[in-house]
């Protein structure tokens, strides 16, 4: 591209448009790394200030992210989770054409802990998983499940969404879920799971799911990297 130096559109805005077209075409490969500032200066024959203005604009728009000491990269796609549909966390990723995977961190048959007392009687099943998109951690999930799942081979079910496991094992459908969303800072353990700094703000989604007989089948808490995830509620109407 040759910049139009007599144009009323500034040089940095022309560079923004050119880089945006290249990003949308997928010109920067699997790792999404853009050329260095020096390479862009030589390519467009402009000053470093102009290049930094262009990259700053792309970063401000959430199109690229600049990593200290590593360069500028195409920003990771943000995942959207519709709150008005009953579907598993994993399914919401699949429906967006992403390539999610799950990594089993641990599972146990245990006494019902105090924070879920009243949802289950006596014992329950605890499952901890890490959700990834393109091999990058996006959420850590801790789930307490009905004791009917105590005989499940969790190594075999490591990549199966929990709703599918529940319905397959019990023969009953998950009919509804209550969800609450809040925020908290990552402690040492969460930071380690998600590859973020300790103290990083995380989204927390607490989901309680029920069978059609109103018995609880699942209490899952998801700790989510917010730069990669957004909750969306569609079709909200004004009350009269």
In a domain, 118, yes or no: yes
pLDDT mean over 175-187: 93
Q: What is the pLDDT of residues 89-114, one digit of tens each?
A: 888 777 766 778 999 999 999 999 99
Instruction: Say which CATH number the domain at 95 has.
Output: 3.40.1410.10
pTM exceeds 0.75: no
Q: What pLDDT shows up at residue 41?
A: 95
Q: What are 42's two structure tokens?
A: 């030589």
Q: What is the pLDDT of residues 29-68, one digit of tens each?
A: 766 889 999 999 999 999 999 999 999 999 887 788 888 8
Residue 124 and residue 47 share a domain: no
Cα torsion 21, 82, 161, 131: sign = positive
Q: What are 232's two structure tokens?
A: 């969306």
How many independent structural domains does the chain possess? 2
Question: In whole numbers, what is the pLDDT of the chain averaged over residues?
Answer: 88
pLDDT at residue 123 is higher than 80: yes
Q: What are 83's two structure tokens?
A: 């709150």
Q: How far apart are CA 228 and CA 240, in angstroms?
A: 36
pLDDT at residue 240 is higher than 70: no
Residue 119 and residue 31 share a domain: no
Residue 201 and residue 112 share a domain: yes
Instruction: Say which CATH number the domain at 32 has.
Output: 1.10.10.10
Residue 21 and residue 112 share a domain: no
For residues 228 and 149, which has the higher predicted lDDT (pLDDT)? 149
Q: How far apart are CA 179 and CA 121, in angstroms?
A: 21
Sequence-distant (≥ 6) Cβ neighbours of residue 24 within 8 angstroms = none
Sequence-distant (≥ 6) Cβ neighbours of residue 132 within 8 angstroms = 100, 101, 102, 103, 138
Q: How far apart are CA 176 and CA 174, in angstroms?
A: 6
Q: How far apart are CA 21 and CA 19, in angstroms?
A: 5
Q: Which of left, alpha, beta for 115 (phi over 0: left; psi -120 to 50: alpha)?
A: alpha
Supply the range of the domain harboring residue 41: 11-74
Q: What pLDDT shows up at residue 69?
A: 84
pLDDT mean over 206-225: 94
């Amino acid at each position: 591209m040759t910049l139009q130096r007599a144009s009323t559109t500034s040089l940095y805005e022309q560079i923004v448009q050119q880089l945006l077209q290249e990003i949308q075409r997928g010109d920067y490969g699997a790792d999404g790394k853009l050329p260095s500032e020096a390479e862009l200066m030589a390519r467009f024959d402009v000053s470093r200030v102009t290049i930094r203005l262009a990259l700053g604009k792309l970063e401000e728009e959430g199109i690229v992210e600049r990593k200290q000491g590593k360069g500028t990269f195409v920003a990771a796609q943000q995942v959207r989770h519709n709150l008005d549909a009953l579907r598993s966390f994993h399914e919401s990723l699949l429906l967006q054409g992403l390539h999610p995977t799950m990594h089993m961190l641990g599972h146990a048959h245990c006494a019902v802990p105090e924070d879920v007392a009243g949802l289950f009687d006596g014992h329950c099943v605890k499952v901890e998983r890490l959700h990834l998109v393109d091999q990058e951690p996006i959420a850590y999930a801790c789930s307490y499940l009905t004791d009917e799942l105590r005989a499940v081979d969790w190594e075999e079910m490591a990549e199966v969404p929990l709703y599918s496991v529940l319905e397959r094992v019990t023969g009953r459908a998950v009919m509804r879920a209550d969800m609450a969303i809040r925020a908290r800072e990552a402690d040492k353990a969460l930071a380690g799971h998600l590859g973020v700094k300790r103290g990083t703000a995380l989204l927390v989604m607490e989901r309680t799911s029920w069978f059609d007989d109103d018995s609880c089948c699942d209490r899952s808490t998801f700790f989510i990297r917010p730069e990669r995830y957004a909750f969306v509620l569609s079709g909200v109407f004004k009350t009269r």
